[in-house]
Amino acid sequence: MAKGVFTTKLSPSYDDLPEERYHFGRDYLARVERTLGDTIVYYEPRRSSEHLSSRGGRQSYFAVARPYKITEDPKKADHFYCHVSDYLDFEQAVSFRNGSTYFENALRRDDGGTNRGAFGHAVRIVPEDEFEAILAAGYSTSRVDFAIQPDLATPLSSFAEDMAQFERPMVELTITKPFRDVAFRRSVRAAYDNRCAVTGLRLINGGGRPEVQAAHIQAVEDRGPDSVRNGLALSGTIHWLFDRGLIAVADDMRILKAKGHVPDEVERLINASGYINLPPDPNHRPHPAFLSFHRENRFKG
């Protein structure tokens, strides 16, 4: 087994859905096989689409996941899918270099420049220490929050156990539920600037902490990933309605309501435009695959 980097774009030419699968050609099969049962990080290159002239990609690592199975693409010869679990967005995207320091030493030439030949490989195997450094940079704030700000509803004995887990290496910490909950909550709230996507309300409590909640679009019990694209920032009441299928979101981001099930008092709070508020970063906007799953399996409209 080995740690790896998988490269994917916001508008991929391959059939990628990073939260669930990575699409690749036979040239990378041996490398992808080495990562099975281990851990990878996703990297977004400068090109944002398949077009050579496209730009705007973050040139950053942005999420972690665990490859567990490879299947053949039934429609395209010599292509495969790597299926992943335990997807989790970084709290902040991590640039591939910080000044003259590269997270992947293989990407640095002897003269200090970028080794573009090495960068051209969409799948790369990386040493354990470099992988750990990428994760630590991606979750620096969440790690502090996890360590010093326990959920007040968590029993003290349980939190003491979580603190022991906090001492693990980052690659192990990212699979613990308390850490994932903190990272997901922080990332979704930040993406929506602590505002409810459906009402636009931005409520801050007396302690200076936001009241808005991070909701999974495709629920955790339905194997929904801890991805910002599978999240919505919602007030408590709207979250309750969304989880019970009384409110949903269309692919064009219109707010859908189950007829006769949304109280008039709540109706008056919903955005007058009829659309949800979207994160300014396209990387953080709801993905149609998760919105569709919620409508088909939860929505009562």
Q: Walk along the chain (301 residues) and give the pLDDT tens digit of each residue.
A: 999 999 998 767 789 999 999 999 999 999 999 999 999 999 999 865 555 444 667 899 999 999 999 999 999 999 999 999 999 999 999 999 888 889 999 999 888 888 888 888 999 999 999 999 999 999 987 665 655 444 434 443 444 444 444 456 788 888 889 889 999 999 999 999 999 999 999 877 767 778 899 999 999 999 999 999 999 999 999 999 999 999 999 999 999 999 988 999 999 999 999 999 999 999 999 999 999 999 999 999 8
- Domain membership of residue 172 as a residue range: 142-185
What's residue 55's pLDDT?
A: 60
Query: Measured between alpha carbons, how far is 96 from 116 in angstroms, rounded to an integer?
Result: 13
DSSP string, 27-92: GGHHHHHHHTTS-EEEEE-S--SSSTT------EEEEEEEEEEEEE-SSSTTEEEEEEEEEEEEEE
Residues 236 and 248 placed together within one structural domain of the fold? yes
Residues 231 and 127 placed together within one structural domain of the fold? no
Residues 171 and 53 placed together within one structural domain of the fold? no
What's residue 185's pLDDT?
A: 94
Q: Taking the C-alpha atoms of 124, 141, 10 and 232 in order, what is their torsion angle to the nearest 10 degrees?
A: 140
Residues 196 and 72 placed together within one structural domain of the fold? no
What's residue 148's pLDDT?
A: 47
CB 128 within 8 A of CB 220: no
Residues 122 and 209 placed together within one structural domain of the fold? no
What's residue 146's pLDDT?
A: 57
Domain CATH code at residue 89: 3.10.590
Residues 93 and 32 placed together within one structural domain of the fold? yes
What's residue 112's pLDDT?
A: 84
Q: Residue 218: enclosing H or E segment and its boundaries?
A: none
What's residue 154's pLDDT?
A: 44
Residues 180 and 196 placed together within one structural domain of the fold? no
Overall number of domains in the chain = 3
Residues 204 and 118 placed together within one structural domain of the fold? no
Residues 157 and 235 placed together within one structural domain of the fold? no
What's residue 83's pLDDT?
A: 98
Query: Measured between alpha carbons, how far is 32 from 40 in angstroms, rounded to an integer?
Result: 10
Query: Measured between alpha carbons, how far is 171 from 131 in angstroms, rounded to an integer?
Result: 8
Query: Measured between alpha carbons, how far is 236 from 14 in angstroms, rounded to an integer?
Result: 38
**Angle formed at CA 173 by CA 153 and CA 211, multiple of 5 degrees:** 35
CB 7 within 8 A of CB 43: yes
Q: Which residue has tokens 């704030």?
A: 141
Residues 237 and 287 placed together within one structural domain of the fold? yes
Instruction: State which of 123, 138, 153 marks the end of a domain.
Output: 138
Between helix 177-191 and helix 156-166 the angle, nearest 10°, is: 90
Residues 178 and 289 placed together within one structural domain of the fold? no
CB 174 within 8 A of CB 142: no
Q: Residue 165: enclosing H or E segment and its boundaries?
A: helix 156-166
Residues in a beta bridge with 88: 64, 226
Instruction: State which of 122, 154, 185 marks the end of a domain.
Output: 185
Residues 85 and 148 placed together within one structural domain of the fold? no
Between helix 140-148 and helix 177-191 the angle, nearest 10°, is: 120
